[in-house]
Amino acid sequence: MNFSEVFKQSNQLCKVSPDGKYLATCVQYRLVIRDINTLQILNLYTCLDQISHMEWSSDSLFILCAMYKRGLVQVWSLEQPDWHCKIDEGSIGLVSSRWSPDGRHILNTTEFHLRITVWSLCTKAVSYIKYPKACQKGLDFSRDGCYMALAERRDCKDYVSIFVCDDWHLLRHFETETQDLSGLEWSPNGSVLAVWESCLEYKILLYSLDGRLLSTYSAYEWSLGVKSVSWSPSSQFLAIGSFDEKVRILNHITWKKVAQFEHPAVIDNTKATVYKEIEKRPTGDQ
């Protein structure tokens, strides 16, 4: 195994491009782009302030650098190093910045989650989305990049809005049967949206694209609930991790539990095979 020299970086901002050709690192207010094979510097960009967040576009042609303290986002092009874009959110502030799946729109979330601003790099058009909810995972794109699901909070109630990513018009808007929505996630085939409550209540809700409630699942009551949710690649199963140290698997037909796996802190099964790593130093005979 070969090791390169140590390169400087700030705030653990070091990411490989989606196509695997480039390595981006941030050193305070500088963005460094290297070739992934030779680690030679290809481009060096200077931002207006210390970089808080960095993210590649899906096609690896652009990279955004967000400076949350100043409410600024700067976008750089790898094909045209002289081209750059600056987005200033002004006094309303900035707490989050991310790419849309097409790599040509940037979604900025303002302070206190007052709104999400969608900026287009191609047409310079701007769209505004109000009432985004501040939660664990309140925004998710479908696998094909056609739709965006957004958790909203209005009049002390939870809602979900589904937008079309081509022009960001509202497709569906419906109220969810939750007290405190904590997250949502599309199934890989884009036909079902999973919505779950905060950890104070065990509750999973499955919605169709048109907002119909398909099913509700709750394993128990009066205890800490859902900790994590993950779809299978085929969209046939939904895995739910909870605070009782168990993973429950639901099927996509009846949305009932088909399997349950435990993750105890201590393994008491005598049939379990455990491997232990032993450090062995080479001797003079080897």
Note the pLDDT of residue 151: 98
Q: How many helices (H) and strands (E) does the chain have?
A: 0, 24
The average pLDDT across 128-154 equals: 96
**Three-state secondary-structure class, residue 141:** strand
Indicate if the pLDDT at residue 285 is higher than 70: no
Note the pLDDT of residue 205: 98
pLDDT digits (tens, 9 = 90+) for 3-24: 888 999 999 999 999 999 999 9
Token output for 9: 């970086």
pLDDT digits (tens, 9 = 90+) for 219-245: 999 999 999 999 999 999 999 999 999
Determine the Cα–Cα distance for residues 223 and 245; give it in Å rounded to an integer: 12
Average pLDDT over the chain reads: 95
Q: Is 124 left (phi over 0), alpha (psi -120 to 50) or beta?
A: left
What percentage of the chain reaches a pLDDT higher than 70?
99
Q: At which residue do the structure tokens 């096609």 appear?
A: 59
Indicate if the pLDDT at residue 198 is higher than 60: yes
Lowest mean pLDDT among 101-115, 124-138, 254-268: 254-268
Indicate if the pLDDT at residue 56 is higher than 70: yes
Note the pLDDT of residue 276: 87
Q: Please name the CATH architecture into which domain 131-276 falls.
A: 7 Propeller (2.130)
Determine the Cα–Cα distance for residues 268 and 71; give it in Å rounded to an integer: 53
Indicate if the pLDDT at residue 286 is higher than 60: no
Note the pLDDT of residue 284: 63
- Closest listed residue to residue 143, CA positions, set 34, 77, 231: 231
Instruction: pLDDT band for 268, please (50, 70, 90 cuts).
Output: confident
Determine the Cα–Cα distance for residues 142 and 156; give it in Å rounded to an integer: 27
Residue 133 near residue 153 (C-beta atoms within 8 A) = yes
pLDDT digits (tens, 9 = 90+) for 81-115: 999 999 999 999 999 999 999 999 999 999 999 99
Using CA atoms, how far residue 209 sits from 31, 172, 220, 235, in Å, is: 40, 8, 27, 14
Domain boundaries, the chain: 131-276
